[in-house]
């Protein structure tokens, strides 16, 4: 593929990311609320935050069609700040929810939905990460490589949900769902911090391999 085709494929991947996270967010929050599983509900809310971030990435790739870019523009900075706020709120809410779950000894009715959704997410995020990384390297584009690394974070997040959901479903260990939600809260806080750092510096790249 030539450069034009590669950028088009990168944009398509960004659209897939947005659509998938939107569907994942709706399904996860619905089942999370229905089954009273805090980890799945938090995972779903994080997916909505990823939609906001994905819109900023899609906008950035569209700008690449006309010229090389070096910093985020005002639209992308606003998207990053909104994403950061949403992720901070999510992290705080999950911590409070986990504390209440410990106090009131709340447990989910089932975590089967979490197992299915996280498995699908692992497969999807691995595909997106691999393809974004390939395109980014072929274009020698740090922004797209950076986006691929951020997708890898979602890949790891899915493993946290899968682990907590699978352990609870098999062994019904008390509070494992709450512990899993704390793991998601930590990732949400880290992602939120990274979003604000990018908005402040307007840099296109992540500070490390997992932004």
Q: Tens digit of pLDDT for each residue in 147-205?
A: 898 899 899 999 999 999 999 999 999 899 999 999 999 999 999 999 999 899 887 76
- Is 208 within the bounds of a domain? no
- Is 44 within the bounds of a domain? yes
- Is 47 within the bounds of a domain? yes
Compute the average pLDDT of residues 6-25.
Answer: 97
Mean residue pLDDT of the chain comes to 92
Q: Is the pLDDT of residue 26 over 60?
A: yes
SS3 sequence of the chain: CCHHHHHHHHHHHHHHHHHHHHHHHHHHHHHHHHHCCHHHHHHHHHHHHHHHHHHHHHHHHHHHCCCCCCCCCHHHHHHHHHHHHHHHHHHHHHHHHHHHHHHHCCCCCCCHHHHHHHHHHHHHHHHHHHHHHHHHHHHCCHHHHHHHHHHHHHHHHHHHHHHHHHHHHHHCCCCHHHHHHHHHHHHHHHHHHHHHHHHHHCCCCCCCCCC
- Is 39 within the bounds of a domain? yes
Structural domain harbouring 128: 3-201
Q: Is the pLDDT of residue 210 over 50?
A: no
| Confidence at residue 143, expressed as pLDDT on a 0 to 100 scale | 82
- Is 55 within the bounds of a domain? yes
Number of domains composing the chain: 1
55-98 tens-digit pLDDT: 999 999 998 887 777 778 899 999 999 999 999 999 999 999 99
- Is 209 within the bounds of a domain? no
Q: Is the pLDDT of residue 124 over 50?
A: yes
| Confidence at residue 120, expressed as pLDDT on a 0 to 100 scale | 98
- Is 211 within the bounds of a domain? no
- Is 67 within the bounds of a domain? yes
| Confidence at residue 206, expressed as pLDDT on a 0 to 100 scale | 53
């Amino acid at each position: 593929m030539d450069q034009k085709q590669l950028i088009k494929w990168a944009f398509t991947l960004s659209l897939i990311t947005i659509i998938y996270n939107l569907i994942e967010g709706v399904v996860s929050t619905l089942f999370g609320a229905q089954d009273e599983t805090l980890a799945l509900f938090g995972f779903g809310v994080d997916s909505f935050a990823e939609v906001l971030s994905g819109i900023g990435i899609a906008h950035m790739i569209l700008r690449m069609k006309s010229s090389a870019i070096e910093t985020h523009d005002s639209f992308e900075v606003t998207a990053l700040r909104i994403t950061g706020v949403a992720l901070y709120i999510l992290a705080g809410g999950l911590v409070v929810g986990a504390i209440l779950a410990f106090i009131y000894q709340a447990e989910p009715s089932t975590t089967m939905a979490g197992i299915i959704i996280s498995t699908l997410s692992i497969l999807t995020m691995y595909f997106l990460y691999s393809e974004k990384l390939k395109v980014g390297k072929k274009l020698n584009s740090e922004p797209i490589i950076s986006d691929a690394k951020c997708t890898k974070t979602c890949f790891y997040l899915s493993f946290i949900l899968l682990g907590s959901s699978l352990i609870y479903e098999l062994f019904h260990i008390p509070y494992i769902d709450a512990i899993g939600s704390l793991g998601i809260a930590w990732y949400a806080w880290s992602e939120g911090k990274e979003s604000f750092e990018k908005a402040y510096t307007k840099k296109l790249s992540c500070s490390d391999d997992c932004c």
